[in-house]
Structure 1
Amino acid sequence: MRLSKVSNGTVVIVDLDKFEKITEEKVFDRYKPNIITGTLTQLIENFTRKWQAHVLYGLDYERGTEEAVILIPMVKPEEVIEDLENIRRNIEKLGATLSIGVSYGPLDVIKARNRREAYSGLTVKRALKALREAKRKGGNKIIIM
C-alpha cells in the first residue's frame, strides 16, 4: 500500500545483534517470543504509538521481534534519538545488543507485503546502510545517515 502523497520523515531499522548466537546460548526457541524479542516487540509498539509511526516490516507478536523497519512521517531523526537510545539500553540490560540505522527523506510506503518490498525505497536503503555501518563497527550503536 502506498501513501497518496509522498512526505518526508524518518526511517528507523532496528536489528538484534548476533540473534542466532543469543538464542543458542540462552537456549531460546527461535520461533517463540522470549524475554529479549518480546521486550523488543513491546518497546517498538510503545515507540510507534508515541510517534504515530508505521511499522513497515518486522513487528512479530507470535515469534517476538528480531528486526523491524519503522517509518515516522514528518519527524526528523534528532527528535527520536533519545527514545531509540532508551530502546537500545533496555535491550542491553537483558544481555543482548541492538543496532539501529536511521535516515531522513521521502516516505511513500506504509505497509510492505514482504521483506523485499520493505527494504525498497531510497530512504529505507539509506537506513539499511546506516544499520550495516553500526554492525560493522561492532553493533550496539545508532548510526544516522
Structure 2
Amino acid sequence: MNKILKVVILCLIVCIMAGCAVVELPQRKPLAQMGQVSGPPYIHAELSEQVEEVAGDIQGVKDSTALVMNDQIAVAVKVTGFDRLHLKAIRQNLYNQVERTAPGYDVHVTTDKKLFAQLQMLKEQIKNAQQYSIPAQIKDSYNVIIEDMNG
C-alpha cells in the first residue's frame, strides 16, 4: 500500500510539473501571407482544367477538381480503396506535377473529401455567376478552403 501511494504521488507531481511547463508553439502566418487571395479575384479557367487533367493522370486518383484564382491553385482529389494507404505520396506527387505545370503559383493539394466537395460547390457557384462579377463571398469561401488545406 505504501508503494502504491508513493507511485500515485510521484505521478501527480510529474503531471503537475508537465502542466506548468511553457510550450512554445510555432507562430502562424497572418492570413494575408498564408495564401489568401487579395484584390479582385481572377479565375484562370483554362489552367484549372489543365491542372485537373494533370491530377487525373496521377496513379491512384479517381476524381479531381481544381480552381485557380489569382496566383493560388487549389487541387482536391478523390482517392479510394487501397490507394488511400499512400495518400502522402499521392499528394506529394500531385504537388510536384502541378508545380511543374504552373510555375510561379502557390499550390495547395488535399485528399480531404469535405474540401473536395466544397471546392466543387465553389466551382459551380463561379460557373453560375456572371463572368465579371464574382461575389466577395466566393473569394472568402476560396480563402477558407485554402486555409483549411494548409492545416
TM band (smaller chain): 0.3 to 0.5
Structure of greater Rg = 2
Higher RCO structure, 1 or 2 (CA under 8 Å, sep 6+): 1
Q: As a proportion of its length, which structure holds more strand?
A: 1
TM-score of the superposition, structure 2-length normalised? 0.37
